[in-house]
Amino acid sequence: MTWQIDVGASELLEDRLTDRLVAHNQAASDAIRRRFERDNLRAQAVQAYAVDEGGQLLGGCSGSTVNVWRWLTIDTMWVDPSRRRQGLGRELLTAVEDQARGRECRWAKLNTWEFQAPEFYERLGYAVYGREIDYPPGHTNFLMRKDLFA
């Protein structure tokens, strides 16, 4: 048996490769098969924002839920520096987590760099389950998770 290795971009082969991996994963796991059913492909947004009396953005938290697996992903979290350490971040994150609980999500996950807020998330019950060292170069990306019904 012989083969050849081709290098370079091929949209056709990339599509075939993806299709074959998805087919393998779906055959191996019922949970993955259900996730890729048409009705389960789209994630649902969750959002909470804080604005002042003039409508200026003070902070926000947004993410999405995937109901078939019952999890929440926090994508964006920011609080204006002048409003930090006043409880606003906690309220925003809790509002998004509460939306996910209302959708019966069991856990939440997020990524944060060392210069952002890993300690903030730890205080709110998130645990580090992985670290990407030197990602991006010179930084550590913390992978964090929280059980929403603990």
Question: What's the CATH number where 98 sits?
Answer: 3.40.630.30
Strand 140-147 and strand 107-113: the pairing is antiparallel
**18-27 — which CB contacts under 8 Å span 24+ positions?**
none
The tally of domains found in the chain comes to 2
Kind and range of the H or E element at 22?
helix 11-28
Residue 103 lies in a domain: yes
Asked whether residue 54 is assigned to any structural domain, the reply reads yes
pLDDT at 68: 85
Specify the pLDDT at position 41: 80
Q: What is the pLDDT of residue 34?
A: 86
pLDDT tens-digit map of 33-50: 888 888 878 889 999 999
What is the strand order of the sheet 127-133 is part of? 44-51, 57-66, 71-79, 107-113, 140-147, 127-133
Specify the pLDDT at position 32: 84
Handedness of CA 29, 129, 84, 149 (dihedral sign): positive
Instruction: Indicate whether 76 and 139 sit together in one domain.
Output: yes
Q: Is residue 141 part of a domain?
A: yes
Q: Cα-flanking dihedrals φ and ψ of residue 111, to 5°? A: -120, 145
The dihedral built from the CA positions of residue 146, 48, 132 and 8, taken in this order, carries a sign that is: positive
pLDDT of residue 146: 98
Structure confidence at residue 98 (pLDDT): 98
Residue 87 lies in a domain: yes
Q: Which residue has the tokens 């959708």?
A: 103
Residue 26 sits in the same domain as residue 84: no
Residues of the domain holding 84: 42-147
Q: Do 45 and 62 meet the contact criterion of CB atoms below 8 Å apart? A: yes
Residue 67 falls inside a structural domain: yes
Low-confidence ranges of the chain (pLDDT < 50): none
pLDDT at site 85 = 95
pLDDT for the residue numbered 69: 86
Residue 21 shares a structural domain with residue 87: no
The answer as to whether 111 is a domain residue is: yes
Q: State which H helix or E strand residue 32 sits in.
A: helix 30-35
My answer on whether 94 and 106 are in the same domain is yes
Residue 1 lies in a domain: no
Residue 4 domain-assigned (yes or no): no
